Structure formats: structure tokens, C-alpha cells
Copies of this chain bind each other. A is one copy, B any other.
Amino acid sequence: MLDHRLPFEAALSGIEVELAPCESELIRLSEALDRVLAQDVVWSEGMIPAGHRLTASDITLLATNGHQKSVAVVRRPRVGVLATGDELVPPGTPLSYGQIPNSSTPLVSACVRSWGGQPLSLGVAADRMESLRECLNLGQALSVDLIVTVGGTGRGDRDFLRPLLRTEGTIMFDGVAIRGGQTTIFGRYRGCPLFALPGTPSACRLTLEEFVRPAVLRLGGHPTAPVTVPARVAEGFRARPLLSFEWARVTRDEAGFQAHRLRGPGVGIWTSMIRANALLVVPPDVSEVKAGDVLEAQLLDAAA
């Protein structure tokens, strides 16, 4: 059992212990050649080393190996996606007072898909314990390898996830020392690993990247380390005494990489997320970042 409000690395190492890659499956060579293979990992030893992420280049070798009829790859992880909240309605439907479109399910699904997982919707849970339990049980019925829920990680009267995990699961950590992602929970529901992410879009996207991404990659047999580059910060800013990830746009010039932090008031955070191609990592012991300082930038959407 891990401590409350873990530092990030400890939280991740906990996850790594908990999650082993999915079992491998044999797929027919003809099917393998038709699939977009960039997201599959070869499991067996042979011409292509075990653990190798298949790319277009490998197709030639697979295709020309005349006597081979199938190829063993790690099965794609099945990830149950659950949004929570009475106020959520499907995107595109007219809104009544107090309603908001459910953006969590499409967001989590798109992320999971881009990391090689297979997203499966568990629906939208209403703010009742029984509704939440029904949705989570659907995940069990669908044999998912991981559940990701969004919202309901606060400590209000209508946040039922924590009490439910306490009675029918385990909580591995409850809260992390990351700005914006503080209320992230990792546990198990009836044996199935579960991440509960905060509901605000930027915190959700951030914790998806920092926690769910390595978990889905690990389940899929991929390396989990993000691609990072050292980047000079273009304009200085004040930092808070908590590990922070800043949406940034990294460009390359003669002298190396330069990072422009993207921030805007209010709705501007969406524009920041959309324009960002990296997350700038600000360690908790840094209180001020000056122009020209070098920080690590995690590249988004980059292959390892």
C-alpha cells in the first residue's frame, strides 16, 4: 500500500509493479500485413527481437519470410472508459440549464487509441452509488484490462468513487503531488486496475499523459518513458512549490530546443492544450524560472 500524496516517480513505480503486459496473441500474417502495425509489439523471439515495436520497415521482412504463417504480438489492452456526473449529455445535443457535453469519453478514448489500446465505453454514471457500480461491473463483463474514470474524485457528498473502491476494491494511492492533478486516484475495482482522474479538461488531459499513458503502453508491451528534450525557456515565469507540467510549444533553432509556455486566462487553457506539442516539467523545488533556463520538455505524440 502506497502513501497518500505520493511524489510522481514513486506513484509511477507503484504502477509498474502492478501492471504486467497483456498476454500475446498469434495473428495471421496476412492480417498482420493489413493492420496498421505501428502499435503492435512482437512478443516471440525470432528474426525480429522480442519487445520490438513493429513499424512499416518490418513489413518487408515479415512479408518476405515465405514459410511464416503467423506472428505473435502483444494483445492490445482493453480499456474501459467511464465518465461520471448527472450533468453530462452526449456531445452535439442541445443543452438544458446545468448540462454540459460529455467530453471525457471522447478524450480518453482518443488518447487510449493513440497509445495502442482499445477503448470500450462503460457509459456515463449518474451521481448515485448504484449507477457507478453498474458501469464498473460492465467493465468486468467486457473483460477490460484497465478502467479509466473521469470526475467524482473530489470529496463532496456526491463523489461515490472513493467509498465504492474502499468497500469493493483497493486504493493504491489517493492523491498525487502534481499541480492540477492532485485528486488522481489509483486502485483496483474487483481486481481490475483503475485510474480515477480529475474532471477538469486540462487536469484530465495532464493526468492521462502522466499516468494512463505509461500504464496503457506497459500493458501493450511498449517502453513507457516519454521522449524528452532539454529546452531553453523563452520567457520567465513564477512556479509553485509543487511538481508542475506546463503546456508548451517546443521549436528547434541553431542553439537547440526552445520552449514557449502557453498560458491564457480562463478558456485560454484549451487553446494552450491545442497548440502545445510538449509538457514542460517544472520540479517542485523551483520557485522561479528565468528566460534561458533549461528544463526538460516531454514531447507529446512522439514515438519512443
- Interface set of A (CB-CB < 8 Å, partner B): 29-30, 33-34, 36-38, 48, 52, 55-66, 68-69, 90-95, 100-103, 106-107, 109-111, 113-114, 201, 204-205, 208, 229, 252, 270, 273-274, 276, 300-303
A270 CA / B48 CA spacing, docked (Å)? 10
Contact across chains for A38 and B102 when beta carbons are under 8 A apart: no
Are A29 and B91 in contact (CB-based, < 8 A)?
yes
**Chain B proximity of A165: nearest CB distance (Å):** 26
A301 — which chain B residues lie within 8 A by C-beta? 38, 55, 303
Which single member of B30, B57, B303 contacts A273 (CB below 8 Å)? B57
User: Taking A48-B274, A56-B114 as contacts, is the C-beta distance between A102 and B201 under 8 angstroms?
Assistant: no
Of B60, B64, B103, B252, which contacts A59 at CB under 8 A? B103
Chain B's nearest CB lies how many Å from the CB of A168? Answer: 30
- Our pick among B57, B62, B110 for the contact of A36 (Cβ within 8 Å) is B110
CA gap between A48 and B301 in the complex, in Å = 18
**B55 contacts A103, C-beta separation under 8 Å:** no
* Distance in Å: Cβ of A279 to nearest Cβ of chain B: 11
Q: Do the beta carbons of A36 and B68 come within 8 Å of each other? A: no
Q: For A38, what are the chain B residues with a Cβ–Cβ distance below 8 Å?
A: 110, 114, 301
Q: State whether A103 and B60 are in contact (beta carbons under 8 Å apart), knowing that A91-B29, A114-B36 are contacts in the complex.
A: yes
Question: A274 to B52, Cβ gap below 8 A?
Answer: yes
B residues in contact with A273, CB < 8 Å: 57-58, 60-61
Most buried by B among A57, A66, A102: A57
Q: A48-B274, A64-B101 are in contact. List 6 more A-B contacts (CB 8 A).
A: A30-B92, A36-B113, A61-B270, A61-B274, A66-B91, A302-B302
CB-based contact A64/B91 at 8 Å: yes
Instruction: Name A62's contact: one of B91, B113, B208 (CB within 8 Å).
Output: B91
In angstroms, Cα B259 to Cα A216, docked, is: 29
Task: Let me know if A63 and B102 touch, CB within 8 A.
Answer: yes
A3 → B minimal CB distance (Å): 31
Complex Cα gap A114–B201 (Å)? 28
Residue of B nearest to A48 (CB): B274
CA distance A91 to B65 in the complex (A): 8
Evaluate contact between B64 and A100: CB separation under 8 angstroms: yes
Q: Chain B: which residue is nearest A277 at the CB level?
A: B303
